[in-house]
Amino acid sequence: MHTTHREKPEANADGKPAPGDSHAEAALYDFMVVSNRLPVDRCAPEDSGCEDGWRRSPGGLVTALAPMMTKTDGAWVGWHGAPDETIEPFSHGGMDLVPVQLSNDDVELFYEGFSNATLWPLYHDVIAPPEFHRTWWDSYRKVNRRFADAVVRHADQGATVWVQDYQLQLVPKMLREARPDLKIGFFNHIPFPPPEIFAQLPWRKAIIDGLLGADLVGFQRSSDAGNFMRSARRFLGASVKQQQVHVKGPDGRTTHIARAQAFPISIDVKQISELARNPEIIERAHQIRRDLGNPKTILLGVDRLDYTKGIRHRLKAYEELLADGKVTVEDAALIQVASPSRERVEQYRLLREEVEGTVGHINGTYDTMQNTAVRYLHHSYPIDEMVALYLAADVMLVTALRDGMNLVAKEYVTARTNNDGALVLSEFAGAADQLKQALLMNPHDIDGLKDTIMKAVDMQPAEASRRMRSMRKQILDHDVDLWSADFLAALKEKVVRDDS
């Protein structure tokens, strides 16, 4: 893929320059990624990794796509993180960035509202009740249009556009209507619910119609792709054949074929592996163990503070193991990293209070002068500190109630270069489809969770090594570069039309 850096007039739907537009002179690209956020955050000049006031963001999506973007010289479209501020396109770390402006109202209604209080809980099996407000939906449509317009302004003729995630589900159809010359891909990073749950959404037809604007719709699991295709058939009456949805125009003729299939996302294996072999990080892992009093077993949870992650279930199970005497504060310690998340949303504020109250109760009951039962850390940490934690932990606890993938599980396994350690993994995380040698469990079953934790704690080294070796091979063979390459190769494939 190659970027067209020449200045050209903006093209409208028929491919001709749009008259009288202030953006009539815009750099054009033949490859673009579109996501809610740009892959950079603001930073102070004295901060580590800060370049011109920006540094690359942490998080799964950026980890997955940034390496590919720097190789392709493409452009990334997204919001830069500050409401009511206009920023011109700029470059950072080898990537051209095209900011989309959001107002305070947009952040409240489109992002905190429809994206994270309507779609997020609905798509995660209504673990929390979704809210349906027409003003939120109106904002969602308006902001999706703004993202689509930014792509139309900067996409070269026949460009490939890869739209990311649930905040932008209307963008594919908007792009197809404005620029039928584009090759459009969409990837949904979170689960897609079964039709019986998706049916609750008042705007279900518009969402399905929006996604079907893409040539290829990717999901984390085959079950998610199946849910989507069943919803397309049920709510739009679409013709679904195998993994293909035949999209019809107003005249009843097939306009294009949208394919839906699973592309499980992965991680930057090379980065994690190199950090895990770094002597300074290995020493930091030893220091973490010493700081905790060199317990026999360190258990680790690393999550965004989100109700889908099963943090409360994990704490309940651990508290009961302490009460049962199966583990003691002298022999075991639980580190729970819970990075801040959506703190302006009421449900997240209440979750934080509940989790911190539970941790306080456990520590108040079981701590000694020398030992702490739960070391709770409400921070985000840089990747080198995370790898040190992965190396320090004997048991990784991933107890998600519903998760599209869970890259923490894959990072932990990748960091265990000695093939030791144990992964306790929820069967409701997408990672369970690939990491079959993890200790899989149902986090709703507290007794089963307790038994699985103890199996991990007591596991013999030979079994632990066999399981970890198998999981490491799976991840090392399927890294993030392969994920993006597989998706883009599938997007390029010619689809054989069969309208019979």
For 390-440, the pLDDT digits (tens) are 999 999 999 999 999 999 999 999 999 999 999 999 999 999 999 999 999
Q: What is the CATH number of domain 269-477?
A: 3.40.50.2000
- Given a cut of 60, whether residue 152 has pLDDT beyond it is yes
**What is the reported pLDDT for 495?**
67
The radius of gyration of the chain's CA atoms, rounded to the nearest angstrom, is 23
Tokens representing 376? 């709770």
CATH topology for the 3-265+483-492 domain: Rossmann fold (3.40.50)
What is the DSSP-derived secondary structure letter of residue 146?
H
Strands 40-42 and 90-92: unpaired
For 461-476, the pLDDT digits (tens) are 999 999 999 999 999 9
Taking residue 222's Cβ as centre, other Cβ atoms within 10 Å add up to 14
For 200-214, the pLDDT digits (tens) are 999 999 999 999 999
- Given a cut of 90, whether residue 47 has pLDDT beyond it is no
**What is the reported pLDDT for 373?**
97
Q: Determine the angle formed by the axes of helices 269-276 and 279-291, rounding to 10 degrees.
A: 70
Fold matches, 3-265+483-492 and 269-477: yes
- Given a cut of 80, whether residue 82 has pLDDT beyond it is yes
Give 500's pLDDT tier (boundaries 50, 70, 90): very low
- Given a cut of 70, whether residue 23 has pLDDT beyond it is no
Q: Which long-range contacts (CB under 8 A, 24 or more apart) does 94-101 make?
A: 94/69, 94/70, 95/39, 95/66, 95/69, 95/70, 96/3, 96/27, 96/29, 97/38, 97/39, 97/40, 98/32, 98/150, 98/154, 99/38, 100/146, 100/147, 100/150, 101/146
Q: Which residue has the tokens 């599980």?
A: 409
Taking residue 246's Cβ as centre, other Cβ atoms within 10 Å add up to 19
**What is the reported pLDDT for 51?**
84
The domain spans of the chain are 3-265+483-492, 269-477
Helices (H), 220-330: 222-236, 269-276, 279-291, 311-324
Strands 183-187 and 216-219: parallel
Helix (H, G, I), strand (E, B) or coil at 221: coil
- Given a cut of 80, whether residue 54 has pLDDT beyond it is yes
User: Mean pLDDT over all residues of the chain?
Assistant: 91
Over range 152-163, report the average pLDDT: 96
- Given a cut of 70, whether residue 11 has pLDDT beyond it is no
**What is the reported pLDDT for 5?**
45
